[in-house]
Amino acid sequence: MRKLFLLPVAVFMFAACQSGPKEEENPFFTEYETPHQVPPFDKIKESHYMPAFKEGMKQQKAEIEAIVSSSEAPDFENTILALDQSGALLDKVTSVFYPLRSADTNDSIQSIAREVSPMYSQHSDAIMMNMDLFGRVKAVYENMDEAGLNDSQKRVTTKYYKDFVRNGANLNSEDQERLKEINTKLSSQTLEFGENLLAETNENFELVIEDEADLAGLPKGVRDAAAETAEAAGYKGKWMFTPQKPSWIPFLTYGKKRELREKLYSGYFMRGDRNDEYDNKDIIKKIVALRAERAKLLGFENHADYVIDVNMAKEPEAVYDFILKLWEPALDRSKQERAEMQAIIDAEGGNFDLAPWDWWYYSEKLRKQKYDLDESQLKPYFQLENVRDGMFWVANQLYDITFEPVNNIPVYHEDVEVFEVKEADGSHIGLLYLDYFPRKSKRVGAWCTGFRDAGYDHENNEVVDPLVSIVCNFTKPTGDTPSLLTWDEVNTLFHEFGHGLHGLFTEGKYDRTAGNVPRDFVELPSQIMENWCGEPEVLRQYAKHYETGEVLPDDLIEKIQNSSLFNQGFANVEYLAASLLDMDWHTLTTDDKVEDVNAFEDASMNEIGLIPEILPRYRSTYFAHIFSGGYSAGYYVYKWAEVLDSDAFNAFKESGDLFNKELAAKFRKHCLEEVGEGEGMVQYKKFRGQEPSIDPLLEKLGFE
């Protein structure tokens, strides 16, 4: 994890106090005596965190004081490099605590998170508003050319200087104090939003079915998983469905009982909006108001202006223009899809109009009708382990790297497996942790994180190898049936693996810049990998029937190819609607007051003409990306990066070789390894030789 005081406030804010052990017993206070110096999860106890947090902050404070009190004139080594290398112990504990808080939390961990959150915010502010420290950084920044700094040194110096300015270093003392208050409040509010959502997903709704007739239409694997979920929850002999995607999406796709589809989907989309102890509406109003006030203090019109100023898009207007270019063709396509599904309903004698909880069910029927393709035909060919090996194979073909399972590495949960990643010559790159299955201690979704970033140890003059982790929520094996993925989950695994490759390949001598890219560039490494997973020659590598070993037949491969444009109206409308909702929330100014969160959301969606059969991918009350994660005024970035990834993959297609070694080497160098050495577009043009074209994306979506 990069220096916390450089991350958006409230992105990684969690914590609590327990009596700590003696220092010599705390694993964070000594070097890890483990292979590759990985975290000793088997020895780390919850009681170790708070002492390590406090000591880490204490040590970094002392390191900052040493920089400030130096009698030497400010230069790169005694100011910028010293700042960049400060906080090693704090980095060490945060790099374990925060990933585990998302992947394997409990009440105690969440209690720690609540306590450490304001402490961390105050610690960060104390650094970024230290005027003496800023003065030294500014002195180095203003004399970069005279000092003869190289390009990498200039870049990291510039980044730190701008960080200080964006975090209030130029404010007067009164405004700085108010900014500190805002940051502390935001850290607590965003934390509470995420805790409410976790409780809503795990505890506040369940659909328990007692009559097997109510399972009509559901494949055996879905039924078996629901039975295991029910038994684990104390409902032996029944079937249970939850707001977890591996649970509710199959039910909505195959379940014939319409009233139950509505009940389950309502349980999903009403999260955080039940006017109970887990309700998020008031929290949203507070977060939005605080962000708007902070932006104004820092000289920006609104929070979106503040965030996007350092992105490739540069300003909110460019984001709106980009989204709306795609909105009209996507909306038109969704209306066509709606009409086609309504025709199926009418032909079957259904006396009702298509509703949001019907979309998955009838779109699956439409898929069968138009492409003779049934999702259940595909799943037997997508055994998790085979898909994993397939993505490893793609990485090997592109970059000549290998993945070897290792069994002597401590893990935080029995479901986790670890692979050593090596170059073609056998040299070590890093470790990859894979954590696939849902559990109550894990938040929803899929993400890539890590327990140590790639970096550089200046004291010992050596590279620090990364520990990368991919966390998912895929269907667990049941009985004799292994974990079988949906086509969407296959794409998700390849996507997160792309983030993992970015983390594994990152190079750079400075923490502030190594691997750090604009938010609207960060999805390029992940999304480009999705392009490979559906190519016929790649499918033939990993898509093998879990019972017979038969390779996915050519006719099914052809159907996957032919159906690539299927449901693109829905997929893009729900995503773009959420992106616009995010932008509307974060272009509010301090003069704008929101009294009713749902009314604001409705007005936002009505303005763009969202059809009632589709909800935004995330309604406000469970929009974790923007209210408890790092994507505020930035949910658009997935589609922005899709322009990049479509254009980049098109280079491979145009070359006639999907695994063109020369192109792969250039992509690895400019867009993965040294990407932090230049601005996003600069690095992309080094790879591509030109700015990206939107045409490959429009063609891929069928919107031309």
Of 403, 411, 379, residue with least CA distance to 483 = 379
Handedness of CA 636, 639, 640, 645 (dihedral sign): positive
Q: Which residues contact 678 (CB under 8 A, 6 or more apart)?
A: 155, 686
CA–CA–CA angle 222, 228, 232 (5° rounding)? 145
Distance, in Å, from the CA atom of 235 to the CA atom of 213, rounded to the nearest integer, reads 17
Tokens of residue 141, six digits: 């920044």
What are the start-end ranges of the E strands in 176-248? Answer: 207-209, 239-241
Of 117, 93, 122, residue with least CA distance to 13 = 117
Of 572, 570, 619, 561, residue with least CA distance to 362 = 570
CA dihedral 135, 141, 143, 147 (to 10 degrees): 120
CA dihedral 235, 239, 244, 248 (to 10 degrees): -160
Give the pairing of strands 467-471 and 428-435. parallel
Rg (CA), the chain: 25
Choosing from 195, 489, 496, 530, which is the catalytic residue? 496
- Residue pair 139/68 in contact by the 8 Å Cβ criterion: no
CA dihedral 120, 121, 126, 131 (to 10 degrees): 140
Tokens of residue 600, six digits: 């604001």
Distance, in Å, from the CA atom of 638 to the CA atom of 134, rounded to the nearest integer, reads 34
* 3-state secondary structure at position 389: helix
Distance, in Å, from the CA atom of 213 to the CA atom of 211, rounded to the nearest integer, reads 5
CA–CA–CA angle 686, 525, 243 (5° rounding)? 160
Tokens of residue 10, six digits: 């409230």
Q: Which residues are registered as beta bridge partners of 448?
A: 470
CA dihedral 358, 361, 367, 369 (to 10 degrees): -90
Distance, in Å, from the CA atom of 513 to the CA atom of 483, rounded to the nearest integer, reads 39
Handedness of CA 458, 459, 462, 466 (dihedral sign): negative
Whether residue 63 lies in the annotated active site: no
- Residue pair 292/588 in contact by the 8 Å Cβ criterion: yes
463 φ, ψ (degrees, to nearest 5): -75, 140
Please classify residue 321 by burial: count the beta carbons closer than 10 Å to its beta carbon, then call 0-12 exposed, 13-18 middle and 19+ buried: exposed
- Residue pair 201/278 in contact by the 8 Å Cβ criterion: no
* Cβ atoms within 10 Å of 174's Cβ, excluding its own: 8
Distance, in Å, from the CA atom of 223 to the CA atom of 14, rounded to the nearest integer, reads 37
- Residue pair 217/250 in contact by the 8 Å Cβ criterion: no
* Cβ atoms within 10 Å of 509's Cβ, excluding its own: 16
Give the pairing of strands 239-241 and 402-406. unpaired
Q: What single letter denotes the amino acid at residue 500?
A: G
441 DSSP 8-state letter = T
Distances (CA, A) of 305 to 301, 317, 562, 588: 6, 9, 41, 10
* 3-state secondary structure at position 465: coil
Distance, in Å, from the CA atom of 79 to the CA atom of 41, rounded to the nearest integer, reads 35
- Residue pair 128/121 in contact by the 8 Å Cβ criterion: no
The residues annotated as belonging to the active site are 496
